[in-house]
Structure 1
Amino acid sequence: MAREHTSTWAGFWARGTWWKAVLLIVVYLALYQLAALGVVTVAGDQIDRTNIFATPASVFFGLGASLIVGAIILIIFAASVGWLRPLFSRQPVRGRWWMWIFVVLAIIPIGLRFVGIDYASYAGGVVVTSLLVGLVIGFVEEFLYRGIVVKILRDAGHRELSVAALSSLFFALSHTVNLLSGQPLLTVALTVVFTFGFGMMMYLVMRATGNIVWAMLIHGLTDPTTFLSTGGIDVSTGAAHSPALDLAAPFNIVFVVAALIVLFFIRGKAESASESRIR
């Protein structure tokens, strides 16, 4: 009986449609918000609400703890439908040589921010904790959007152009939950635009390298270096600037422009789950 139930559950998700991706994202975000609320309830006194990067404990409980819960939720889901191995296997659609250009573009601002961060302005342990939490962010967000969501869209029979655009759009729109934390509407709107471009870059990284792990690592270094270089999350708190940070700043716009351009060049289509079963 349990085997039949598991098969029904896995079969439901194997029959990919775009709305199942949306459903999964909504449920995940709701559970993530509940986890964040639970962390605040249990360890809220450890979080500095005026400066989340004030102490290592503030970074961990303010950002990392709920993400760890999110990672566990996603891993359990992927394991329950038998997707852990496929998600970490080589990409079913071969990458093009020109996609490596965007791997380089994604890495350059990370290096610039590493050079430009004012490390002396942070208490001991904050930078290391932020980098470790960043790796969790990269794992969770790439696992969900470039892993699970991309697989659902591919199993639905979408061509890679639609897969890239829809997964990046869903990733971008998920950042509207920042409104719940009190961020201004304009800031959230700009974040949505920028994250669409970044989502496209991560899709191209995954396609070029052939494995989602590299997108996880690059994403995992992008977020913490951005936070530490600006002093905040999706906003600047007046952190010190340097020539390196000035050079890194325009890359958000570069990513958006590049994303719109590459939409005209993405080709290919993965074999869907139904097609695989037929063969």
Structure 2
Amino acid sequence: MPDYASLSPWKRFWERGGWWKAVILAAVYYALYELGSLLFVPFAGGVDPDSATFIFIAYVFPILLGGIILVVFGLSIGWLRELFGPQPIRGGWWMWIAVAVVLLFNLLRFATIDYGAAGFDVVASWLLAGLCIGFAEEVLTRGYVVTLMRKAGHSEIAVALVSAAVFAALHAGNLLTGQALLPTLLQLGYTFAFGICMYLALRVTGNLIWPILLHASTDPSIFLQTEYPAAGPLASIAGLGNIAVIFTGLVLVFFIRGRIAAREGDPALAPQPVLPNTNAGV
């Protein structure tokens, strides 16, 4: 537990946690990410949208910049070690279901990609883009948002719901890029359920690195299999991945239990260590 009297006002503000601070952080991050993306727009003119160069300009560079912003923020408040350290509350065996479902369909999608049509450079660039996306989005939502919620003493069901809702809300911005309303609403439903699955992956694996890697394999598998599908019945099964993730996330969310208690006398101040008899795995 930190000595709050010795902290700067900046660090003390974030150490006290709170859901509204999580929303503010996500909003500021999204605004900076969008502004940063504009820096690369001039370089996209005349570039083939199916090329590896375009993937770097449209996805890799902007999200890499977003990841750097998040790392700088973590350094400013001294949270990086905490974010990537062991989880203070672990999960039950049933949480592996979320990991298994996401991983299974990622593997199925990777197995049903026409790699010859895609080309090595496009596949490699999407894999790099996926790693950047997984890092930035998981550090923000399953890292900072989860930590801010826990520091305020919220229950783990609230932690899961808010982190998933913030993650989904980030994708609502696709409306601004011209995406139609119905596909955006469907995307919000998927990303919310996927966010629940990633929260469960965080809990059951005990470290943020694993949902980052799981997320990093998701986006490339979806984009590549959608654009370059291989023929065969297995591709039809792989196409059910989004439905399976939505079902899994929305069902398993009802089984989430546990809480990291805030310090007595000031529930918004700081969390206490988890007691041995916690019901974290229920």
TM-score, reference length from structure 2: 0.88
Deviations 1:216-245 (A, max 9, x none): 0010010011000112xxxxxx85553222
Change in 2 beyond 3 A, CA 1:47/1:7: farther
- Give the SS at the match of 1:125: helix
Q: 3-state DSSP class of the match of 2:255? A: coil
Structure-to-structure mapping, 1:99-248, within 5 angstroms:
99-231=95-227, 239=229, 241-248=231-238
Does the 8 A contact of 1:55 with 1:123 survive in 2? no
Please show how residues 29-48 of structure 1 align to structure 2 within 5 Å: 29-41=30-42, 43-45=43-45, 47-48=47-48
CA RMSD of aligned residues (A): 2.0
Structure 1 residue identity aligned to 2:107: G
1:144-198 Cα distance to aligned partner (Å, 9 max, x none): 0000000001111111011001110111111010011111111111000010111
Residue aligning to 2:20: 19
Match of 1:274 in 2: 270
For 1:276 and 1:255, how far apart are their aligned partners in 2? 34
2:55 is the counterpart of 1:59? yes
In percent, how many aligned pairs have the same letter? 44
Distance in 2 between residues matched to 1:165 and 1:81, nearest whole Å:
25
Counterpart-to-counterpart distance in 1, 2:231 and 2:240: 14
Quote the residue 1:264 is aligned against. 254
1:104-142 CA-partner distances (Å, limit 9, x unpaired):
111101110111011121244110111011111000100
Q: How many residues align?
A: 264
Counterpart AA for 2:97: I
1:93 equivalent to 2:83? Answer: no
SS at match of 2:20: helix
What displacement does 1:45 show? 2.8
Superimposed CA distance per residue, residues 8-53 of structure 1 (whole angstroms, 9 cap, x where no aligned partner) = 1011011111111111111100000001111113x223643xxx3x
**In the TM superposition, what is the alpha-carbon distance from 1:6 to its structure 2 partner?**
6.7
SS of residue matched to 1:274: coil
Deviation at 1:271, TM superposition (A): 4.1
Q: Which amino acid aligns with 1:91?
A: Q
TM-score by length of 1: 0.89
CA separation of 1:219/1:46 partners in 2, compared to 1, >3 Å: closer, same or farther?
farther
Q: Distance in 1 between matches of 2:85 and 2:218?
A: 23
Q: Distance in 2 between matches of 1:108 and 1:206?
A: 17
Unpaired runs of at least 5, structure 1: 232-237
For 1:209, give the aligned amino acid: T
CA contact (8 A) 1:138 1:219 kept: yes
Gaps of 5+ in 2: 263-268, 274-282
Greater than 3 Å deviation, 4+ residue runs: 238-242
* SS in structure 1 at match of 2:153: coil
Q: Distance in 1 between matches of 2:57 and 2:214?
A: 23
CA 1:247–1:35: 2 relative to 1, 3 Å: same
C-alpha contact (below 8 Å) 2:112/2:238 kept by paired residues: no
Q: Which sits farther off after the overlay, 268-277 or 177-186?
A: 268-277
Give the Å deviation of 1:269.
Answer: 0.9
**Residue 234 (structure 1) aligns with:** none
Give the counterpart letter for 1:150 in structure 2. Answer: V
